[in-house]
């Protein structure tokens, strides 16, 4: 009976203990793990980047996640409300607004990819996908055509429809099927991909760290990916935290989400890289990587069309559940701050999003993909600014609020003695210093 939609409005609305863990894992597992993680890892040279990602996840991501959950549970509101309440200062509310803006902007390109996923589900089930085994050519033709625009509208309309009605228990129960279902299919695929000819080369690329290929930009990308993948820095976990019972152990929830997120990323890598090396696909081919690689894996499996269809459908649902938590952040903000009705807030947010979402889809492979400013098209910019700048900034604000301003943070987490000391030290010093250093080094200042 959890509903992240009615952001803290009624006290009685609360997650059951297992429901919360599942919803939090559901928010964190999505396109970030299956689509973004493999391609960003591929663009940054493989194993060493994966190691950086794990370090960012453990040293910065998990402590910040615990902080966000604690802020949400104590603040009982959206990002702006909780920040203002716990700091007692209006200025902090403005910092919370960065989070709302980030969620809004992420949705504009996340919905593009969610749309791609739906298309691939249909194409796989009908078997069309396997008619032309040049998956790169197929992907390029698809993204240059009309379908991405149509599927994105489907995704946004669906998300808006569900959000406008309030997130019913139903859609969240989906997570109970989708998250384990996705895991099952992934494990079946894993058996196939690990027995491919190129498996050894792929595994080596993914797990053997070659530090010579890393740049300072890679560190920023790893940090951004860790935040994105854990749904941090934009108030989503904070909003969920507002529906958590006081008796729930936040540190345990944090560990469960971290373990779940890393597991999906690891399996995704173990599926994608053996396949790329077997079928001669470039691991650094960018956002299309998964859509070019997986069809080749499915085509080489018995019942591949069915597995492919199921996989892409589950991934699409996992993506839509993430879309809900993304859209809900600005919607709940409009409801609380400006007194909009839920219907009006949803319509306003979805229409405003679409103004950016459509050009973003055109830039992701269509007519505007070559319209570049400073080397990036609109799609790349939105991804870069949100993941690599806004999310780490949002995370930085959480560490500062928890570490220096809000005095009761430690006791809210339920950590004791040395655990609490280590966490507070991380939030005061380690995490903010790392975030700032990575920022400065990536712009060439350190």
d(CA 352, CA 205): 41
Min. distance of Cβ 131 from ligand PHE in angstroms? 30
Q: In the complex with ligand PHE, which residue's Cβ is closer, 398 or 415?
A: 398
Quick one: which of 7, 84, 87, 322 contacts ligand PHE (CB under 6 A)? 322
Smallest separation (angstroms) from ligand PHE to the CB of 319? 7
* Site for ligand PHE contains 43 (CB under 6 A): no
User: Cβ-closest residue to ligand PHE?
Assistant: 32
Q: Which phi and psi angles does 376 have, rounded to 5°?
A: -125, 145
Contact between 21 and 243 (Cβ < 8 Å): no
The CB-of-409 to ligand PHE minimum distance in angstroms stands at 22
Cα(159)–Cα(322) distance, rounded to whole angstroms? 10
Least distance between ligand PHE and beta carbon 209 (Å): 23
For ligand PHE, give the closer residue by CB, 350 or 415. 350
**How far apart are CB 318 and ligand PHE at their closest, in Å?**
7
* Torsion angle in degrees (nearest 10) through CA of 152, 362, 39, 230: -50
In the list 124, 275, 325, 361, the residue contacting ligand PHE (rule: CB under 6 A) is: 325
By beta-carbon proximity to ligand PHE, the closer residue of 319 and 378 is 319
Give CA–CA dist 427/41, Å, rounded: 27
Contact 395, 439 (CB under 8 A): no
The interface mask with ligand PHE, positions 236-275, x = CB under 6 A, is: x---------------------------------------
Site for ligand PHE in 96-135 (CB under 6 A): none
Q: Is 387 in the site for ligand PHE (CB under 6 A)?
A: no
| Residue number with CB closer to ligand PHE (5 or 236) | 236
Q: Restricting to residues 157-176, name those near ligand PHE by CB under 6 A.
A: none
* 92-100, 113-121, 320-328, 362-370 -> range binding ligand PHE (CB under 6 A): 320-328
Give me the least distance between CB of 182 and ligand PHE, in Å please: 12
Query: Which residues 182-241 are close enough to bind ligand PHE by CB under 6 A?
Result: 228-229, 231, 234, 236
- To the nearest whole angstrom, how small is the minimum distance from the Cβ of residue 301 to ligand PHE? 25
User: How many residues make contact with ligand PHE (CB under 6 A)?
Assistant: 14
326 or 435, CB closer to ligand PHE? 326
If the CB atoms of residues 182 and 431 are measured against ligand PHE, the closer one turns out to be: 182
Asked whether the CA dihedral 393, 395, 401, 403 is positive or negative, the reply is negative
Nearer to ligand PHE, 392 or 414 (CB): 392
Closest CA to 145 of 171, 123, 178: 123
If one asks whether residue 326 binds ligand PHE (CB under 6 A), the answer comes out as yes
Q: Which of residues 13-42 bind ligand PHE (CB under 6 A)?
A: 27-28, 30-33
Q: Which is nearer to ligand PHE, 325 or 442 (CB)?
A: 325
> Where along the sequence are the contacts to ligand PHE (CB under 6 A)?
27-28, 30-33, 228-229, 231, 234, 236, 322, 325-326
């Amino acid at each position: 009976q959890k509903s992240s939609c009615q952001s803290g409005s009624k006290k009685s609305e609360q997650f059951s203990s297992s429901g919360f863990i599942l919803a939090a894992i559901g928010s964190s597992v999505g396109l970030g793990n299956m689509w973004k993680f493999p391609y960003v890892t591929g663009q940054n040279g493989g194993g060493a980047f994966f190691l950086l990602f794990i370090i960012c996840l453990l040293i910065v991501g998990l402590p910040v996640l615990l902080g966000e959950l604690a802020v949400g549970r104590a603040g009982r509101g959206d990002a702006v409300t909780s920040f203002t309440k716990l700091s007692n200062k209006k200025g902090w509310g403005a910092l919370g607004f960065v989070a709302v803006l980030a969620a809004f902007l992420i949705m504009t390109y996340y919905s593009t990819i969610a749309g791609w996923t739906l298309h691939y589900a249909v194409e796989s089930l009908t078997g069309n996908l396997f008619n032309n085994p040049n998956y790169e050519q197929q992907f390029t033709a698809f993204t240059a055509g009309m379908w991405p625009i149509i599927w994105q509208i489907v995704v946004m309309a669906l998300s808006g429809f569900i959000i406008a009605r309030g997130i019913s228990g139903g859609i969240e129960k989906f997570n109970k099927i989708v998250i384990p279902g996705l895991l099952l299919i992934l494990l079946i695929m894993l058996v196939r991909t690990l027995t491919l000819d190129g498996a050894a080369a792929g595994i080596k690329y993914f797990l053997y760290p070659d530090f010579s290929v890393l740049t300072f930009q890679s560190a920023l990308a790893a940090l951004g990916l860790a935040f994105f993948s854990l749904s941090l820095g934009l108030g989503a976990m904070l909003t969920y935290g507002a529906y958590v019972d006081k008796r729930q152990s936040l540190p345990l929830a944090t560990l469960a989400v971290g373990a779940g997120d890393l597991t999906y990323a690891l399996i995704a890598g173990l599926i994608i890289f053996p396949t790329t090396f077997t079928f001669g696909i470039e691991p650094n081919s960018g956002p299309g990587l998964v859509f070019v690689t997986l069809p080749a894996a499915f085509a080489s499996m018995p019942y591949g069309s069915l597995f492919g269809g199921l996989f892409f459908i589950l991934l699409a649902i996992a993506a839509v559940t993430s879309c809900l938590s993304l859209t809900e952040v600005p919607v709940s903000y409009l409801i609380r701050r400006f007194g909009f009705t839920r219907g009006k807030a949803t319509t306003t947010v979805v229409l405003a999003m679409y103004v950016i979402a459509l050009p973003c889809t055109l830039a992701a492979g269509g007519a505007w993909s070559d319209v570049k400013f400073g080397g990036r098209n609109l799609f790349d910019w939105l991804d870069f600014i949100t993941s690599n700048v806004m999310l780490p900034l949002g995370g930085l604000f959480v560490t500062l609020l928890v570490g220096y301003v809000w005095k009761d943070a430690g006791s809210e987490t339920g950590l004791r003695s040395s655990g609490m000391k280590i966490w507070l030290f991380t939030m005061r010093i380690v995490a903010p210093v790392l975030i700032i250093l990575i920022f400065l080094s990536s712009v060439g200042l350190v």
